[in-house]
Amino acid sequence: MKFILFFFTLLKMSIKASIVKKSAFIIELLLMLSSNLTFIILWWILFKKFQTIGSWTLTDMLVLNAVGMGAYGLSQILFGGLKNLSKLILTANLDSFLTTPKNILFHIAGSKSFSKGFGNLMTTISLIILGDLYTKIPLILLSMITGCLVFVSGSIIAQSLAFWLGKIDSVAKKYSDSLYLFALYPTNIYSGVLQIVMFSLIPAGIIGYIPVELIKKFTFEMLFALLASSTALFSLACFIFHQGLKKYESGSTFTHKS
């Protein structure tokens, strides 16, 4: 209970710091919103011509982007500190977190918040209004939470590779960007090996495809698939991080500042 209070207190401070410059915050929010809506307009033009893409309609695409952008926005706001995880490992700045009794992973995650995430959340709200998706809000919110878990898990796994591989922060960033990009496209346009990749190495299908199919036609099997896959991936991410942390603490990895 104390840790939860600590995390939210830390998060509150991080969010306040990210929006301290009101004018810059508003400009960034509007730029992100306009960029996202421009992306949606391109899809609207495409669907005006083809009606369906891979059996999906424009409404399905609005749901996909509402979930994907909202989930990514949540990960930026709530777990922004993970973006610098590999740098903390390489420069031995992880040591400052090891001296506290708090959960180190969540301590790092809540140590920073990115205000641009609010632009993504505003996009989600806009898409719900534009697509008349009010009846789907409960499942959209649930899917945003599970999607956020997947984004966070992908980031933890990619960044934690620094424990073994060294300087991989640029690769980790490209991986996270790729996951976000693929999450905003229908996974059912891929086939064969690529579709397997979209549910494993780049789990974009868990973020977008499963929620859309769940919202189109609710089944408990699909709900279980969404909850189980996102939880399992997060558990794997935590396991990988803590295995790397044991290596770090043993002194067999990077313990010098660069």
Kindly state the DSSP code that residue 56 receives in the 8-state scheme.
B
Counting residues of the chain whose pLDDT is more than 70, the rounded percentage is 95
CA 154 and chain centroid, separation: 8
String of DSSP letters for 208-248: THHHHHHHHS--HHHHHHHHHHHHHHHHHHHHHHHHHHHHH
Strand-pair partners of 232: none
Alpha-carbon span 151 to 220, nearest angstrom: 23
- Say yes or no to pLDDT of 188 above 70: yes
Question: Can you give the pLDDT at residue 123?
Answer: 97
Centroid of chain to Cα 48:
30
Q: Is residue 254 part of a domain?
A: no
In a domain, 255, yes or no: no
In a domain, 258, yes or no: no
Give me the pLDDT at residue 256, please: 42
The count of structural domains within the chain is 1
User: 39-64: per-residue pLDDT in tens?
Assistant: 999 999 999 988 888 789 999 999 99
Domain-located, residue 219 = yes
Residue-level pLDDT at 258 = 41
**Cα(111)–Cα(216) distance, integer angstroms:** 37
139-160 average pLDDT score: 97
Averaged pLDDT, 243-256: 71
Given this model, what pLDDT does residue 76 score?
95
Does residue 257 belong to any structural domain of this protein? Answer: no
pLDDT band at 8 (very low <50, low <70, confident <90, very high): confident
Indicate whether 255 pLDDT > 50.
no
Q: What stretches of 19-115 show up as alpha helix (H) in DSSP?
A: 22-50, 58-78, 85-90, 95-98, 104-109
Establish if 176 belongs to a structural domain.
yes
The better pLDDT of the pair 96, 143 is held by 143
The structure's pTM equals 0.91
69-73, 119-123, 187-191: the lowest-pLDDT one: 187-191
The pLDDT score that the predictor gives to residue 125 is 97
Q: Give, for 179, the enclosing helix (H) or strand (E).
A: helix 169-183
What does the radius of gyration of the chain's CA atoms come to, in whole angstroms? 19
Query: pLDDT, tens digit, for every residue of 66-105?
Result: 999 999 999 999 999 999 999 999 888 888 888 776 789 9
Host domain of residue 73: 2-249
Helices 116-130 and 58-78: crossing angle, nearest 10°? 160
Identify whether 37 is part of a domain: yes
For 109-156, the DSSP string reads: HTT---THHHHHHHHHHHHHHHTT-GGGHHHHHHHHHHHHHHHHHHHH
Q: Which residue has the higher pLDDT, 198 or 3?
A: 198
Mean pLDDT of the region 100-128: 91
Query: How many CA atoms lie within 13 Å of 55's alpha carbon, on the beta-carbon side?
Result: 8
